[in-house]
Structure formats: C-alpha cells, structure tokens
Structure 1
Amino acid sequence: MKNMFCILALGVSGLTAQGKSLVDYFLPMEPRGPMIAEGIWGDPNVLPRDIKNGLEDSSLKNWCYWDGRIVKDDAGRFHLYASRWHHSFPHSTGWKENSKGIHAVSDHIMGPYTDKGLVYPQWQNGKGHNVIGLRMQDGRYAVVTSEITQGEVFVSDSPDGPFELLGKIKWEANGFNPGLAAYQGGKGHMSNVKVLLRPDGRYMIVPRSTCVMISDDGILGPYKIMSDRVYKNYPELPQEKNEDPTVWYSGGMYHIVYNHWPSKTSHHFSSVDGISNWKYRGIAFKKEESKIFKYTDGTVNDWQFVERPTAYVDEQSGHVTHFIFSVIDVKKGQDRANDNHASKIVVVPFDGETFDRDMLQIVENEKKEASP
C-alpha cells in the first residue's frame, strides 16, 4: 500500500480500482535450476539465486552484462540482444570503454541464455551500449545501439545474423528542443534509445528524455519529435536525472516506464495514441520498497541497482508476459576490476492480462467522468 499512498500524495488516482500499481502485477520467479549460494559472485543480498535465470557469467571468468531486449523467432527460440564488458573493467568504466553488443539464445524465455558472442564484430570491434533488438515490419531482425555510439541500426534476415549496418537513426526537431533527441543540444549521441514498431506500422522512439519520436518512413527515420518529456506536465515529479525509459503497446494503449536514478524510483505513464495525453499512473516500482525479484519458494534477491527495464509482449496474446532488468549486487562504484561483484540480466514474469484488463477499466472510468 506504500505505492498507493505515494500516488495519492501526488493527487493522482490509483492505477486500478483495487489500489494496485504496476509492481503488483509482477509474479514470483520459478527457478530454472537449483538455487545457488556458494561458488558464485555477489553480496549476501543476492544469494542464493538462480544463475540460470536470464544471462550471467556466474563464475565471473569473463563478462558483466547489461541492457537488452528479448525477441522470439519463428521457431520459438528466444534471442536476447544486450551488452557486455570484460570483468577486468570496473563498472564505472566498463560500460563506457569496453561495452559491446552481444547476442544470446535460450529455448525458454526465462533462460538460461547462452552467449553467442558479438552481434556485429566487423563494425568498430562490436562497440555498443543501450543495446536492444526488435523485429522489423518486413520480418527482418534489427539491433539498435546508442549512448556510446551515435544511434545505429544493424539488420539481418536471421536472428542469428550476420548483422550488417543499415545506417544511423535520423531525426528532426519538428519545433521542439533538439536536446530531447540527443546530447549536446541535439549535436551529440542519442541515448537510451528504445524503438517500438507500432500497430499502425510506424516506428516510435522513446530516448532518454522520454519524448516521443515517430517515423513514417522506416526504422532509420527521419523521426519527428512529437512531444516533450512525458512528465513535464507533472511538476511534482522529479524533472531531472531521469533515464532508462521503456515503451510498449498492450491492451489497446501505450505505456512508458522510466527511472529516476537518485531515488531508485520508476514511474509509469500511459497514453491511448502513444503521442499525446500521457497520464501519470503512479510509481511503477521503487527499489527500497518493491520486492520484484521474489522466487516461488519465497527467497528474495535484493539487487542494489535495478535499471534498464524492458517489457516483453507476447505476439499471440498481445499482453506483457515478462520484464527484463539489468541488475548489480552493490553500488556501481563498489564494483571494481576482477572482484566478486558484477551485473547480470534478470527475467521476471508479469501478469499482463490482468494488468491490461485493469488499465482498460481505468480508461473507461476516466471517459465516463469526463463526459458531461
């Protein structure tokens, strides 16, 4: 109920008539293997854990993992496109100096995912961060990188590659502040780029700023900035130090969740058309209060930082069934080179069917209240 009180304090109605917020729809994780507490990295707050969930280098022989999005292929396999850097780098510099785009595969959405190596090794030695994957309108597979690169798209006919550079994302300010799209007032790199293929066939980008960008002409754009930050009309919410937006479409509407990193609090917005009238739906989850990483046996992993959320929408049902998160066991500055700390990607099941039903009911109630 703490989340509900926070929502009411902001003068916003609860997400559902039952007083639930997004975090209440996360489900316990069924372990994909034995729960392990010895011989693996991590502080006691993340032990024991299922090392077969998601993607991790449990022995820390090589990699720290971050970012990612899951894409299902026509054969029913699950592909995770993400980033990694070598364990010989501390977290504070690894993601900037050694991060590369990688491809991992699993027969089950929860994992374990097997690292298959670099996605595009022929381009700048695989350099990439904020890496995500998606299926394009023509059926091809795309991988997108930003933050330490300008904002590039790589494509392949096969989820296993080879991936070739299609080009750099193009965009137009369209009367808005160009800094909404990229660093340095629009002259620098794009960041935190999440690309969504909309049901209407257009491509939609939500970058670090949480503005909405739409392309009518393919995945490379040009994208036009169509809105300011989704939280701009809510001055009671933090207006700075927000990052890591994720965007998805389910249940007939669009959703954005982003993270205010100083407070480790993520906020949830929804819109019917995915461009305008973004409405605040309350705290999505808060690290100090939300127990997202709970197993079916009651064990809870309390990761120190929970970032880069990404929703997986099942193509057949149209509902979110899982979220993935980038997590680290200690404060980032405490993860040093060749130590016993690291980051991984965790997959958490989500009751998207109930969530969408409840969201639709809220929208219907709002329409009734607004009608004369």
Structure 2
Amino acid sequence: MKIRTLATLLVLMSLNGVAQAEKQLIDYFKPMELQGPLVSEGIWGETNVLPRDIKNGLEDPDMKTWCYWDGRVVKDDDGRFHFYGCGWDQKYSHDAGWKLNSKAIHAVADDIMGPYENPVLMWPHWQEGEGSNVIGLRMHDGRWAAVSSETTEGEIFTSDSPYGPWSLLGKIKVDLNGFEPGLARYQRKTMPSYGHMANVKILLRPDGRYMLVPRSCCVMISDDGILGPYKIMNDRVYKPYPELPQTKNEDPTVWHSGGIYHIVYNHWPSKISHHFTSIDGITDWKYRGIAFTKEQNDKVFRYPDGSFDDWIYVERMTACVDEETDHVTHFIFSVLDVKKGWDQGNDNHGSKIVVVPFDGEAFDANMQRIIDAEKKAAQ
C-alpha cells in the first residue's frame, strides 16, 4: 500500500490505533549554534541553502575536491571528535560518484559541531581506499572499527587508534536463522546471488553483544564479536504495520538511549522518516510516528536567528549518544542542495555533512512517560 501524503499517513495511523507521542522526535531538534558566519559568496549551492554555516560539519565550500556522504561521529578519549564517512571526487555527478568513486574518509574536529578538517583516506592500501555507507565505532574491547557496505560487501576494518592505520578484519558473517537472505544481503543486477550488505549500522549493546541493522530494517545480533555471525532475529520492524509503506525503505539508524532502543529509517519516495522503539532491541518494536519529513527542514536545519537551510535531500541520519548521560546530543545528516540527478560534476552543486543538536534528555524522558503509560494500561 502506498502512502502518498503526510495527511493520508496520519489518518491511517489514527484509524489503525498506532500509538502517537504527544511530541515527535522532530520537536527535540535544537538550533544549530554557529561555528562561523553565515555566508553566501564564493560557496556552492542553490539559494535554498544560502547563506549557511560552512564550518558546520564537513564540507568542501568551494567544491574543488570532495562531495561528502554517509558517516558517524565518534568521540575519542582526549575529547576530540572523529568523523568516519565517505566522499567522492566532485568531478563526478552524485549518481555516478557514490557508485564509481566513493572513498572511506576520516576527518577530525575539536567541537562536535565542526568544522571537521584534514580529511584523509582511511585505507588507501585496500582497493584504492574504496568505501561506502561508512560508519565508525568503538568496539567492546576499546579498539576502533569502521564498516563499509553497499558498493563493498560488508567489510570491517580495525585500528588501535582513531587515526589508524586500519587493517581489514574480515567480512560480516550472517546466520539466516530461518529468514530470507534478502533481509541481510541483497542482489544487484551484476550479481548472480545475494552478496553485498547495505546501509549497515552496528550498535554496541549494553549486554556486551553487537546489534546490526541493515537496509531491510531487521535486527541482527552477534554473540561472538563484531564480525558475527549475526543471527537475524526478526523480520522488518515495519512489517506488522501494513498502513506503512512496505517497500523503498532505507537508511536505518539505530541507537540506545535512556534504556530504550530506537530505529529511524527513511521512506525515500515520500522523504518521510519513521521512528520505532523496543525495550530489548529485539522484540516488540512499536511504531512511534513520523520522525521528520522534508517539509520540516525549518525545524531541523535552523539557526538561532530563525533562518534555515532547505536541503532537497536529507539522508543517512546517525545518532551521537553521550556515554556518560546515555542521551542523544546530536544527529548527523548527509544533505544535497538539489535533486540527485541535477548534481553533475564540476558544477555549483554538491553534498556535505551537517551536525544538528538534539535535546536527548527531554526526548528520553518523554519516551519513558509513554512507555510507562502503556505498561499501566496493559495491566
């Protein structure tokens, strides 16, 4: 069933009794404090993203070298912030760049908001630095890890330092556990069988296990380390909700905060992102409503003066959770100023990484109130 408009979706959720929070995830985004002046002259982009703070996140302001995409930010023991993601030579169009030239990129900042500087290839010795859907994380043993998927097969690289060097640990292993192979890996036209993983997000669970959520939005658990095997534990989290789109969903992000597991994914045709929660991160995933939509950019990418950047594509969301407070402090987004087919090589268009502050403490408190009320009603 296709959901064509936000209004239609809201009506359907009401008719089907979907539990809606008093406030949605989008209500907890905070203004992006300025890391530099808002500028328009001499930088790339359509007027919908001008003026903007080019020191927020990671970007090539004159679009001479890199377009950036994907990624996660991880804090090191010295208080510095490391961006692990990918980029491609701006001479490629967006559609060609991520397929043909995507490289794993590392950049560093003293402030989580940016600017992230001195971008370098993470593993230039391996397939000329190829990497896509790249994210970074700390493993349970304290070492650093980075994951690549989509254009690669689902490799994990490790290092004793956040700066590298990076060594290939191996490819992610999967235990289908009776489920279909397509939940973990998918077929490309050039592949005779299921091969690549895509949109891989890995989470360190408090119980010492690793949790993996791929493009399909199922949950996979490893009891045997970061390589797995990851056992598929359930079908797509949205499958029990037929009123939601059942195809063309992608870009899941997963996090644990306030004692609750969260998944947000994007339905790319409608540009609507949906939010689910679970107490144990495996069973009973409940739909919590719309996380945000393209039409709500004024609530997400806004500055303290009330102005905002109206990015045409907003994808690849990841969460930054403070280890001490167990609350999300920021979200990371990959953004593009025009439609993907309009971003050609050597032009005035491109993509960057944006960092947006988030009131995770208030968000977690509200989610806990909702869950407590549900438990009470079920008694």
Shorter-normalised TM range? over 0.9
2:155 counterpart (152, 155, 179):
152
Name the counterpart of 1:286: 293
Asked whether the equivalents of residues 311 and 323 of structure 1 are also in contact (C-alpha less than 8 Å), the reply is yes
Counterparts of residues 123-162 of structure 1 (less than 5 Å): 123-162=126-165
Q: Which residues of structure 2 form unaligned runs of 5+?
A: 1-5
Describe how 1:212-251 pairs up with structure 2 within 5 A. 212-251=219-258
Distance 2:125 2:266 in 1: 33
Say whether the 8 Å CA contact 2:297–2:311 is kept in structure 1: no
Check conservation: 1:179, 1:186, Cα contact below 8 A: no
Tell me the percent identity.
Answer: 68
In structure 2, C-alpha distance between the alignment counterparts of 1:113 and 1:263, rounded to whole Å: 31
Residues 317-357 of structure 1: per-residue CA shift (max 9 Å, x gap): 11000000000000000000100000000000000000000
- The reply to whether residue 74 of structure 1 matches residue 80 of structure 2 is no
TM-score by length of 2: 0.95
Aligned to 2:360: 352
Question: Does the alignment pair 1:259 with 2:259?
Answer: no
Structural mapping, 1:27-38, within 5 Å: 27-38=30-41
Tell me by how many angstroms 1:116 deviates: 3.0
**Which of 55, 63, 83 does residue 52 from structure 1 map onto?**
55
Equivalent residue number for residue 3 of structure 2: none
Alignment equivalent of 2:25, drawn from 2, 18, 22: 22
Query: Take 2:103 and 2:18, find their aligned partners in 1: how far apart are those partners?
Result: 41
Q: What is the aligned-residue RMSD (CA, Å)?
A: 1.3
2:172 matched residue in structure 1: 169
Deviation at 1:14, TM superposition (A): 2.0
Deviations 1:153-174 (A, max 9, x none): 0000000000110110001100
The count of residues paired between Structure 1 and Structure 2 equals: 367
Native 8 Å contact 2:71 2:135 kept in 1: yes
Where in structure 1 do 4 or more consecutive aligned residues deviate above 3 Å? 2-10
Q: What is aligned with 1:313? A: 321
Q: Which amino acid aligns with 1:160?
A: Y
Within 5 Å, give how 1:163-202 maps onto structure 2: 163-184=166-187, 187-202=194-209
Deviations 1:62-91 (A, max 9, x none): 000000000100000000000000010000
Any conservation in 1 of the 2:297–2:309 contact (CA below 8 Å)?
Answer: no
Instruction: Name the residue aligned to 1:304.
Output: 312
Post-superposition offset of 1:289: 3.2
Q: Hey, what's the Cα distance between the residues in 2 that align with 1:227 and 1:93?
A: 34
Local SS of the residue matching 1:357 = helix
How far has the Cα of 1:178 moved from its partner? Answer: 1.2
TM-score by length of 1: 0.97
After TM superposition, give the deviation of residue 8 of structure 1 in Å: 3.3
1: distance between equivalents of 2:155 and 2:27?
A: 35
1:274 aligned onto 2:281: yes
Residue aligning to 2:342: 334
TM-fit CA distance, 1:186:
6.9
2:346 aligned with 1:343, yes or no? no
Question: Which blocks of at least 5 consecutive residues in structure 1 are unaligned?
Answer: none
Partner of 1:322: 330
Change (3 A) 1:118 1:9: farther
**Inter-partner Cα distance in structure 2 for 1:129 and 1:122:** 16
- In structure 2, C-alpha distance between the alignment counterparts of 1:97 and 1:116, rounded to whole Å: 19
